Amino acid sequence: MTAINAVTDLTTQDGIAVLTVNSPPVNALSAAVRQGVLAGIETAGKDPSVQAIVLTCAGRTFIAGADITEFGKPMVEPSLHAVIKGIEASPKLVVAAIHGTALGGGLETALGCHYRVAVPSAKLGLPEVKLGLLPGAGGTQRLPRVVGAAQALEMVTSGTPVGARQAAERGLVDALAPEDGLLAFAVEYAREAVADGKPLRKIRDMNVQAEPGLFDTFRKANARKFRGYEAPERNIQCIEAAVSQPFDEGEQTERRLFMELMTGTQSAAQRHLFFAEREAQKIPGLPKGTVVRQIRKVGIIGAGTMGGGISMNFLSAGYAVTIVEANEKALERGVGIMRGNYENTAKKGRLTQEQVERNMGLLTASMAFEDLAECDLVIEAVFENMQIKKEIFGRLDQIVRQGAILASNTSYLDIDEIAASTKRPQDVCGMHFFSPANVMRLLEVVKGEHTAPDVLETVMQLSRRIGKVAVVAGVCHGFIGNRMLEPRQREANKLILEGAMPWDVDRVIYDFGFPMGPFQMADLAGLDIGWSAETSKGVTLRDQLCERDRRGQKTRSGFYDYNEKREQTPSPIVEELILRASAERQIKRRRIDDQEILERCIYTMINEGARILEEGKAYRASDIDMVWLTGYGFPAYRGGPMFYADTVGTRHVVERLRAYQASSETDFAPSDYLLKVAEEGRGFSSGK
Residues taking part in catalysis: 108, 128
CB of 458 to ligand 3H9, least distance (A): 18
Q: Which of 33, 103, 113, 546 binds ligand 3H9 (CB under 6 A)?
A: 103
Give the phi and the psi of residue 98 in degrees, each rounded to 5.
Answer: -110, 130
Query: How far is residue 192 from each of residues 23, 44, 57, 95, 539, measured CA to CA in Å?
Result: 29, 18, 21, 12, 82
Find, among 23, 177, 13, 202, the residue nearest to 99 by Cα.
Answer: 177
Question: What residue spans of 348-385 are helical by DSSP H?
Answer: 353-361
Q: Which of 40, 86, 127, 309 binds ligand 3H9 (CB under 6 A)?
A: 127
Residues 520-549 that bind ligand 3H9 (CB under 6 A): none
Q: Which of 36, 40, 86, 104 binds ligand 3H9 (CB under 6 A)?
A: 104
457 or 596: CB nearest ligand 3H9: 457
80 or 118: CB nearest ligand 3H9: 80
269 or 605: CB nearest ligand 3H9: 269
472 or 653: CB nearest ligand 3H9: 472
Distance between CA atoms of 314 and 466, rounded to whole angstroms? Answer: 6
Distance between CA atoms of 631 and 454, rounded to whole angstroms? Answer: 25
64 or 335: CB nearest ligand 3H9: 64
Q: Is 281 exposed, middle or buried (0-12, 13-18, 19+ CB in 10 A)?
A: middle
Size of the site for ligand 3H9 (CB under 6 A): 25
Residues 128-147 that bind ligand 3H9 (CB under 6 A): 128, 131, 133, 135-137, 139
Q: Is 37 exposed, middle or buried (0-12, 13-18, 19+ CB in 10 A)?
A: buried
Residues β-bridged to residue 444: 432, 471
Annotate each residue in 47-86 with x if it binds ligand 3H9 (CB under 6 A) or - if it does not, as one string.
--------------x--xxxxxx----------x------
Using CB under 6 A, which of the segments 99-107, 175-183, 428-436, 616-624 binds ligand 3H9? 99-107
659-668 long-range contacts, CB within 8 A, separation 24+? 660/596, 660/599, 660/600, 667/487, 667/490, 667/491, 667/494, 667/604, 668/604, 668/607
Residues 450-489 that bind ligand 3H9 (CB under 6 A): none
The answer to whether the CB of 425 falls within 8 A of the CB of 448 is yes
108 touching ligand 3H9, by CB under 6 A: yes
CB of 70 to ligand 3H9, least distance (A): 8
CB of 589 to ligand 3H9, least distance (A): 49
47 or 279: CB nearest ligand 3H9: 279
105 touching ligand 3H9, by CB under 6 A: yes
Annotate each residue in 267-296 with x if it binds ligand 3H9 (CB under 6 A) or - if it does not, as one string.
-----------x------------------
Distance between CA atoms of 518 and 601, rounded to whole angstroms? Answer: 10
Distance between CA atoms of 600 and 609, rounded to whole angstroms? Answer: 14
101 or 411: CB nearest ligand 3H9: 101
Query: How far is residue 239 from each of residues 6, 53, 105, 244, 261, measured CA to CA in Å?
Result: 36, 30, 17, 9, 16
Question: What residue spans of 526-571 are helical by DSSP H?
Answer: 541-547
108 or 457: CB nearest ligand 3H9: 108
CB of 92 to ligand 3H9, least distance (A): 25
CB of 452 to ligand 3H9, least distance (A): 24
The answer to whether the CB of 382 falls within 8 A of the CB of 324 is no
CB of 580 to ligand 3H9, least distance (A): 54
CB of 251 to ligand 3H9, least distance (A): 11
Q: Which amino acid would we find at residue 39?
A: A
CB of 293 to ligand 3H9, least distance (A): 22
Using CB under 6 A, which of the segments 102-110, 150-158, 509-517, 644-652 binds ligand 3H9? 102-110
82 or 367: CB nearest ligand 3H9: 82
Beta strand residue intervals within 448-511, DSSP E: 469-474
Beta strand residue intervals within 161-266, DSSP E: 162-163, 175-176
Helix (H) or strand (E) holding 259: helix 247-262
What secondary structure letter does DSSP report for 570? E
139 or 299: CB nearest ligand 3H9: 139
Distance between CA atoms of 647 and 629, rounded to whole angstroms? Answer: 16
Find, among 412, 409, 414, the residue nearest to 430 by Cα.
Answer: 409
Report CA torsion sign: 373, 379, 380, 381: negative
Q: Which of 26, 55, 143, 149 binds ligand 3H9 (CB under 6 A)?
A: 26
Q: Which of 4, 16, 28, 612 binds ligand 3H9 (CB under 6 A)?
A: 28
CB of 278 to ligand 3H9, least distance (A): 4
Please give, one letter per residue, the 3-state secondary structure of 271-331.
HHHHHHHHHHCCCCCCCCCCCCCCCCEEEEECCCHHHHHHHHHHHHCCCEEEEECCCHHHH
178 or 467: CB nearest ligand 3H9: 467
112 touching ligand 3H9, by CB under 6 A: no
CB of 408 to ligand 3H9, least distance (A): 28
Q: 25 preceded by cis ω (within 30°)?
A: yes
CB of 685 to ligand 3H9, least distance (A): 16
The answer to whether the CB of 517 falls within 8 A of the CB of 484 is no
148 touching ligand 3H9, by CB under 6 A: no
Using CB under 6 A, which of the segments 24-32, 180-188, 632-640, 643-651 binds ligand 3H9? 24-32
102 touching ligand 3H9, by CB under 6 A: no
Catalog residues that contact ligand 3H9 under the rule CB under 6 A: 25-26, 28, 61, 64-69, 80, 101, 103-105, 108, 127-128, 131, 133, 135-137, 139, 278
